[in-house]
Structure 1
Amino acid sequence: MRWWFKARRGHLLLPLALAVFGSALYAVQDTTVLLPAVTGSGRVALSLFVPVPLLAFLMAALESRLPAAEVSGVRSMTRLDNALVITVMTAALLCSALVACVQESSTAATGGRNAVFLTGLMLLARAGAGQAAVMVPVGWLVTVAVIGFRGNLPRSWTIIALPADSMFAAAASLVVFAIGLAAQIRSSRKTA
């Protein structure tokens, strides 16, 4: 297991990823930015974009592997990879909750939930696109910014723009995350 973790560069990438995530979440607070939008007001919470570096670090860790050796090996690395993803997302949720408590801000509380949802999307896309799947969450973010609002209200399909107390967003995030983990199990034994 130690060799697997070193091969994934987890000892370097993941602490750095969580530090970047936590500090960015703390820094943006309730800041909104004006982005071009087809529908809605165009004002988007900057905290929506905070999970992107975390996802990039996570994808780098998952893709730093030796596919041929892992496919031909007796022990499947899928369970370890899924445990790694679950651990990182649990840490992101805890980090988000900590920042929300310190700032007394509901915006920070959505950071972990959004990271879970976007990670699920990334893992789903990784099954077919490989490392390029890291761009799928970015595409989702751009789509939400451009057409995800009706006036100042987010549409329900956006998930990440919904308020922190939205049970629908929390449930959808968990479902997409679980489907992403299942897709990773199915596709992890491929060499390409």
Structure 2
Amino acid sequence: MRWWFKARRGHLLLPLAMALFAGGLYAVQDTSVLLPSLTGAPRVALSLFVPVPLLACLMAVLESRLPAAEVSGVRSVTRLDNLMVSAVAALALLCGVLVAAMNSTASAVTCGRNAVFLTGLMLLGRAWAGQTAVMIPVGWLVTVVVVGFRGNIPHLWTVVALPADNPFAAAASLILFAVGLAAQIRSSRKTA
């Protein structure tokens, strides 16, 4: 397992990703910015974009592999990958809760939930698009900003723009994450 983690460069990239995520959460806190939109002029929480470096590092870790060797190996690398992704998502959620507790801000918890949602979206896209699926969550965020608001109120389908205590957003995040993990089982068996 140690060799698998080192081959994935997890020992270098994942601590960097978590430090960027925690630092970004702490830096932006409840800052919101006015962004251009087709459906109004929403004030968007800057923390919406904090998970992007975490997702980029996670994709880099998942894609540093030798597909032929992993498919022919005895150990299930897919299970290890899913455990690693689950641990990163859980740490992101825990980091959001800790920053929220330290600063009394709900946007940090929302950011942790959004990291789980966007990770699931990225994994689902990875099954079909490969490494370029890292851009799918970025595209989702841009779509949310451009057409996801009615005035300053987010639509339900946006998920990432909904408040921290929204049960639909929590359920959608968990479901999409589970679907993404299932899609990763299928995609990691491919050799090309």
Q: Any conservation in 2 of the 1:40–1:148 contact (CA below 8 Å)?
A: no
Corresponding residue for residue 102 of structure 1: 102
Q: TM-score, normalised by structure 1?
A: 0.98
* Cα deviation, residue 42, structure 1: 3.1
Corresponding residue for residue 67 of structure 2: 67
**Secondary structure of 1:44's partner?**
strand
Corresponding residue for residue 40 of structure 2: 40
* Cα deviation, residue 74, structure 1: 2.3
Corresponding residue for residue 82 of structure 2: 82
Give a deviation string over 1:48-101, Cα, whole Å, max 9, x none.
Answer: 000000000000000011111111212220000000000001111110000000
Corresponding residue for residue 190 of structure 2: 190
Counterpart amino acid of residue 23 in structure 1: G
Q: Percent identity?
A: 76
Counterpart amino acid of residue 188 in structure 1: S
Aligned positions of 1:18-167 closer than 5 A:
18-167=18-167
Equivalent residues, number: 192
* Cα deviation, residue 129, structure 1: 0.5
* Cα deviation, residue 40, structure 1: 2.6
Q: Which runs of 4+ in 1 moved over 6 A?
A: none
1-structure distance, mates of 2:23, 2:166? 24
Q: Any conservation in 2 of the 1:51–1:111 contact (CA below 8 Å)?
A: yes
Once the two structures are overlaid, the 10-residue window that deviates more, 84-93 or 28-37, is: 28-37
Give a deviation string over 1:83-140, Cα, whole Å, max 9, x none.
Answer: 0000001111110000000110011110110000000000000001100000000000
User: Over the residues paired in the alignment, what is the CA RMSD in angstroms?
Assistant: 0.7
Extract unaligned runs of 5+ from structure 2. Answer: none
Q: Any conservation in 1 of the 2:114–2:173 contact (CA below 8 Å)?
A: yes
Q: Any conservation in 2 of the 1:51–1:114 contact (CA below 8 Å)?
A: yes
Extract unaligned runs of 5+ from structure 1. Answer: none
